[in-house]
Amino acid sequence: MMNTIRPDRPLPPPIQPASRGLRARRLLRRLAAQRYLQAMALLGVAWMVVFNYIPMYGIVIAFKDFSIIRSVAEAPWVGLEHFKAFLEDEELPNVIRNTLGISVIKLVIGFPLPILFALFLNELRSLRFKKSVQTISYLPHFLSWVILGGILATWLADVGIVNKLLLSLGLISEPVSYLAEPSYFWTIVIASDIWKELGWSAIIYLAAIAGVSPELYEAATIDGAGRFQKMWYVTLPGIKGTVTILFILAVSGVLNSNFDQILVLRNPLNESASNVIDIYVYQTGLLNARYSYATAVGLIKSVIALMLLLAANTVTKKLNQSSLF
């Protein structure tokens, strides 16, 4: 028999939401219980405010004629004069060509290689061999470009190991000064960057692969899929989100050409192939104390990077329904 509510019995009072004071006490208790985690988070927020947000006030000097003998407020306004000077500089075409040439080739070649490396590394059966290969591959990441630049300069010298090897194989008839030839500079920069970052970049993809459900691989095995079919139809779709996010970030950083690497490897003989935007700003803006000019160039670079980020995010969202935001 169904229970019925007697008309003479009063209805229970409605549940009242927690009062503002009660919610505040609950929040304080939660913060007190998480005080150590909150302290670490506050340190990160403070670091971001001090080094990322407060310096943004300095952007105004891009529109002023700033010098170190007076404050930012005292510097006179010049409007877009520094932006026009940069766009009219005769070195601009060569700088843009070097920057885009190195960065685009790095993106086309250097971006998919860690994915392929992670896919094949994941297929290794021997755990000991897998760990050894992974350790050797990401070891160069922990060496600075100052050290690696010295190693490369020694290897690529006239009496270096590269020339000796090529001479012994009969591929060249006389030693070649590779770092003195502009035609070799892009290849050296791209190859050395891949060598340094291949193993480290693959760690992210290996972590994403570890999150793919083993049941999908079991189902693919039952259906008769081979190793390459599993990689194509199971592993790659499983890490699609990670690949998309890293691709968007890589596209937004196309104008970044790894300043440390190029500064170490460049010299007056290969200047025509090594003069990228970061080097141009360093030499023209900072060494010559043209701080407003350097800020203007940096601001243009940041605006273009933001536009590339939004464009890449929109395209990937339409193509595979996966995006950064």
Q: Which CATH superfamily is domain 92-274 in?
A: MetI-like (1.10.3720.10)
Average pLDDT over every residue of 259-282: 91
Average pLDDT over every residue of 240-263: 89
The string of pLDDT tens digits covering residues 28-43 is: 898 888 889 999 999 9
State how far the Cα of 197 lies from the Cα of 205, in Å rounded to an integer.
13
% the chain with pLDDT above 90: 48
User: For tokens 């590269």, what's the residue?
Assistant: 162
Domain ranges of the chain: 92-274
User: Alpha helix locations (H) across 211-290?
Assistant: 214-222, 227-230, 236-238, 240-252, 259-265, 271-274, 277-280
Query: What is the model's pLDDT at position 126?
Result: 86
Work out the pLDDT band at 197, boundaries 50, 70, 90.
very high
Question: Of the candidates 211, 186, 173, which has an alpha carbon nearest to the alpha carbon of residue 105?
Answer: 186
The string of pLDDT tens digits covering residues 162-177 is: 999 999 998 888 898 8
The string of pLDDT tens digits covering residues 74-89 is: 889 998 999 999 999 9
Average pLDDT over every residue of 199-214: 90
Amino acid at position 80, single letter: L
Work out the pLDDT band at 17, boundaries 50, 70, 90.
low
The string of pLDDT tens digits covering residues 89-99 is: 999 999 999 99
Strand partners, 8: none
Which pTM was predicted? 0.81
State how far the Cα of 278 lies from the Cα of 270, in Å rounded to an integer.
16
The CA–CA distances, whole Å, from 95 to 43, 190, 274 equal 39, 17, 8
Most confident of 23-27, 221-225, 275-279: 275-279
The CA–CA distances, whole Å, from 236 to 20, 76, 170, 320 equal 49, 55, 42, 13
Average pLDDT over every residue of 170-189: 91
* Statement: residue 259 has pLDDT above 80: yes
* Statement: residue 200 has pLDDT above 50: yes
* Statement: residue 115 has pLDDT above 90: yes
Work out the pLDDT band at 73, boundaries 50, 70, 90.
confident
Count CA within 13 A, CB hemisphere, residue 130. 14
Query: What is the model's pLDDT at position 11?
Result: 57
